Structure formats: C-alpha cells, structure tokens
C-alpha cells in the first residue's frame, strides 16, 4: 500500500486546470456533468482513504473495541508514518462526516421551510409573490417543482424577457441542477481541494439554463437582455464583477414564512435567474454563437489536455483507493483470529 494510500487526498489538485477551462471552452451541459463526476469520484476516494487511515489510527488507541492484533507491526507497516497519519485521520474523518451531514441537513431544512412558506398559495408551477424586491428562483419538488418570482421583477421585464426568465428557471428544474450543485458542495466539504470545481459548476449550471432558455425563446439576445435587466433591478449589479456563488440577489428576509431568515442567499440547490456567476460573462457568452455540444473535448486542445489530466488523476485516485482497500482488508483479515 505504502505512500499510495495518501494519493487520493492530493490528487484532486489535478482537476484545478480543467475547472476554469471547462467554463470557457466546453458546452455548459458537458462541463457541468464532467466537473461533477470528477468532484464526486475524487471526494469519495479521499474520504475512503481517511477511513482506511482511521482504522490504523484507531487500532493504536487504548481501550478501542477493535481486535488487538489489528495494531500488530505488519498492519502499521502498511501505512507510512502510521502513528501520525493514523491518529490524524480519526478527527479528520469525523470532521468530514460531520460537515457533510450538516450540509445535507441544512439543504433539506431550507427546502422544507421554503415549501411550507408556499403551502398556502395556489398549487401551480409558477408562484408570483407581491413583493417590491426583485428576485426569481427555482424550487425543486414533486412532481415538477415550482418557479417563484416577484411582481417587482416581472414589472421590469417586457413579455419576451419574462418568457426568457421562466424558460431559464424551468431549465433548472428540468435538468435537476440542484442535484449537481449539492453533489459538488458535498465534494468540496469532503476535500477542500475540490472547491474550485464547486465554483465552476455554480457558473456552468447557470450557463446551461441560459442556453436552454435561449433555445426555448428563440433569441439569445433576449435572454442576455433579461439577465442584465434582472441584475440591475436587483440593485447589486456591480457585485457581479467577482461573484461566483449562488443566489446572490435572493433575500428572503421579507418572504412570507421567513421572518428575518437569510438562509437562501448563497445557498446552492436553489439557483436564481440572474444570481450565479459574473453576469457580464453570462451576457457576453449569450451574445456569441451557441457553443457546440461535445461529449468529450479533444486531447489536442488546452481544455482537452486539462480534462484528460483530471481524468487520469481521477482514475489513479480510484485505483489507489481500491488497492489500499484490498491490501488493508487482506492484512486485517490475516491479523484477525477466526
């Protein structure tokens, strides 16, 4: 097993180059799926690596419930720096599991509160709130989710731009973008090296919805104009020069059922209309020809080279985790009396 047991912890660094390049050069649908797959596999591998190291560390602690022979020299020899790595892995794994559990709990808690707040309104796919704050977002649910928008935002858009708004939000629901966002958020919680992928997927999901909306309404310029107007109506357009988060314009402090509750801003899983990623980049992309959809980039391009590098890193990470797991299983099985 040796030093290979540590590889899954650092190999997520190989995905950094592809994050930025995928945003710029790949179709947003392809980029979202590619980056989410990389992030998920690498996060699982790194967490599994911590679990293997924790077995070694726990076996050395006094009073542990594991068999005594699990701390035999041949078990410790399978992991370099076993005393340091094994013991450090125990709190690290506990922290990872706790943070991921908290993220899931918070996601479901906010979703429940949002649905309860809309429970008294007509059961339609579109909910229009009589508010003077401009925002719109997609709330996933069964059977098809709901699009929530305020009257203030609708007043500022002409009919074609309103159609673009609703097409954008329905694209979020149809493609289930909240699942991609939640997956990369959990991955980034499991391994901080994966945070650039979370930021990239936040942007590519919005671009994906932009492209679907443009195809639905038949005009890329209408969607671009609607996004720009929504940003201006929200009164925070300059902030988009550096924002790469989610729902930056969403403020639910005055939302019925959310008195003083600021839980939605920045929370992944509830993407808004003009709310994620720098708006100028999204508008500029819509003013250019539609991107070509490809299942995988060519290796002879910069983004292709980065993608293949990340793919190799992901494969090595998975193989290293599998090798470490088999080796550890054989050692522990041999050291455990029947």
Could you state, in chain order, the average pLDDT of each consecutive group of 10 residues for the chain (338 residues)?
Answer: 68 77 82 88 84 71 59 60 71 91 91 81 82 85 82 91 92 92 94 90 92 92 91 56 28 31 37 62 88 68 68 68 64 57
148's enclosing H/E stretch is: strand 146-150
- Dist CA 297 CA 167 (whole Å): 28
Supply the pTM of this predicted model.
0.77
Q: Are strands 146-150 and 136-139 parallel, antiparallel or unpaired?
A: antiparallel
- Cα(106)–Cα(177) distance, integer angstroms: 18
pLDDT of residue 13: 79
Task: Report pLDDT for 206.
Answer: 92
Please state, as a whole number, how many other Cβ atoms lie within 10 Å of the Cβ of residue 60: 17
**Residue 327 contacts by C-beta under 8 Å, 6 or more apart in sequence?**
1, 78
Q: What is the DSSP letter of 138?
A: E
How many helices (DSSP H) and strands (DSSP E) are in the chain?
Answer: 12, 3
């Amino acid at each position: 097993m040796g030093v290979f047991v540590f590889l899954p912890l650092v190999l997520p660094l190989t995905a950094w180059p592809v994050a930025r390049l995928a945003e710029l050069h790949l179709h947003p649908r392809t980029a979202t799926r590619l980056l989410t797959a990389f992030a998920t596999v690498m996060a699982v591998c790194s967490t599994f690596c911590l679990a293997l190291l924790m077995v070694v560390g726990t076996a050395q602690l006094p009073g542990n419930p594991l068999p005594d022979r699990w701390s035999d020299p041949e078990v410790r020899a399978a992991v370099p720096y076993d005393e340091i790595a094994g013991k450090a892995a125990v709190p690290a794994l506990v922290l990872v599991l706790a943070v991921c559990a908290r993220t899931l709990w918070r996601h479901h808690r906010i979703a429940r509160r949002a649905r309860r707040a809309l429970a008294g309104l007509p059961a339609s796919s579109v909910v229009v709130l009589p508010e003077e704050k401009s925002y719109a977002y997609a709330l996933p649910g069964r059977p098809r989710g709901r699009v929530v928008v305020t009257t203030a935002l609708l007043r500022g858009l002409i009919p074609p731009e309103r159609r673009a708004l609703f097409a954008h939000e329905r694209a979020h629901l149809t493609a289930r973008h909240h699942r991609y966002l939640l997956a990369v958020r959990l991955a980034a919680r499991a391994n901080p090296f994966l945070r650039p992928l979370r930021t990239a997927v936040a942007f590519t999901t919005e671009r994906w919805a932009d492209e679907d909306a443009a195809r639905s309404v038949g005009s890329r310029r209408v969607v671009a104009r609607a996004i720009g107007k929504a940003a201006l109506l929200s009164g925070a357009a300059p902030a988009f020069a550096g924002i790469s988060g989610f729902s930056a314009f969403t403020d639910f402090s005055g939302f019925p059922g959310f008195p003083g509750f600021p839980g939605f801003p920045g929370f992944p899983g509830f993407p808004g209309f003009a709310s994620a990623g720098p708006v100028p980049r999204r508008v500029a992309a819509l003013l250019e020809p539609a991107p070509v959809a490809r299942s995988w980039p060519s290796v002879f391009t910069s983004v292709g080279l980065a993608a293949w590098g990340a793919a190799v890193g992901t494969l090595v990470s998975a193989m290293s985790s599998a090798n470490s797991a088999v080796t550890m299983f054989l050692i522990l099985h041999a050291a455990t009396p029947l």
